[in-house]
Amino acid sequence: MFEQFVKRPFHLALYRTGPYAEERSRFLARLVQEGRCLGRLKTLNWLLLEVAKRVDLSGDRSYTTDALMSVAEHWQRTRGSRSRSKRQARIAILDFVFVASSWMRSLGRSKEKKEELPYGEFLGEFFAFLREERGLAEATIRGHKHSLKLFLSWLKRKHIQLTAVSPKTISNYFTSAVAGRWKRVTVSHHVQSLRTFFRYAGQRGWCAKGIAESIDAPRLYTYENLPQGPSWEEVQKLLANLAGSSPLQIRSRCAILLCAVYGFRAGEVCRLQLADIDWKPSLPR
């Protein structure tokens, strides 16, 4: 199995003689059958060996996510300066935990804490519906789960039964618990989760019908996330501060005018050379 991802004999020997080679090989074979791309499989192969070096599968020992996170953080510290930033280090840790958790689950060595959810009996049926009837991916279902957990926990704190939920209840929730904390995109995703749940809950008789249709989502615009440029008045003030005759002021004024008047990008201005300019004026015909 390892020869599919490693070609050099020295490296191939490391994977074949590394800890738990048979278990790693079986797990990789399953991933190949699932259709993972070769580039990702090479990374998983390397991470599996790193995980295998740091776990103990003797006896009946199992691992929680918290325990694997501790292992991953220690692994990252021992790597020295291989990661160039804190963000990259965090991504590496999460990838390590993801691979380790998936492998432990396949081996039956995962010991996850059971999460108690409000109205768990309803949510279990709802998530099964999303998974089996709607065919949603697990990542999408986790997003619904996160949104519903926040809302149903709020209901529980307010001592409101699911059967008593009304459009006014939903409005109070967004006003008291959400307003001012989330951006409109986050609120929109949250609304979609609530609509999906209450549409199903109304059909099942868990609450009044029509609640899903009463939940309004904020309006989203196609280009709203694009950065907004300064106003022309602000550009003029900036140019006024560069009205001197020093080389730095002349160069800066020219660069700002190219961006503000002609719409040059910053990279285009930085790469601009004298040879790129046609110095001969065009004569009228």
pTM of the predicted model as reported, rounded to 2 decimal places: 0.46
What pLDDT score was predicted for residue 113? 62
Tell me which of 29-33, 127-131, 178-182 is least confident: 178-182
Structural Rg of the chain based on CA atoms: 29
Q: Which among 73, 72, 61 is positioned nearest to 110, based on CA atoms? A: 61
Q: What is the DSSP letter of 221?
A: -
pLDDT bucket at 285, cuts 50 / 70 / 90: low
Got the DSSP string for 30-41?
HHHHTT--HHHH
Q: How far apart are CA 240 and CA 86, in angstroms?
A: 40
H-assigned helices in the chain: 9-17, 21-33, 38-52, 65-78, 86-107, 120-132, 138-157, 167-173, 184-204, 211-214, 232-240, 247-262, 266-271
Q: In sequence order, which residues have a C-beta less than 8 Å from that of residue 187 and are 6 or more positions away?
A: 174, 178, 217, 218
Using a pLDDT cut of 70, give the percent of the chain over it: 92
What the chain holds in terms of domains, given with CATH numbers, is 2-107 (no CATH), 121-214 (1.10.150.130), 232-276 (no CATH)
**pLDDT per position as a tens digit, 197-220:** 999 999 989 988 889 898 888 777
What pLDDT score was predicted for residue 276? 82
**pLDDT per position as a tens digit, 69-114:** 899 989 988 876 555 677 788 888 888 988 888 888 888 888 766 6
What pLDDT score was predicted for residue 196? 93
What pLDDT score was predicted for residue 119? 78
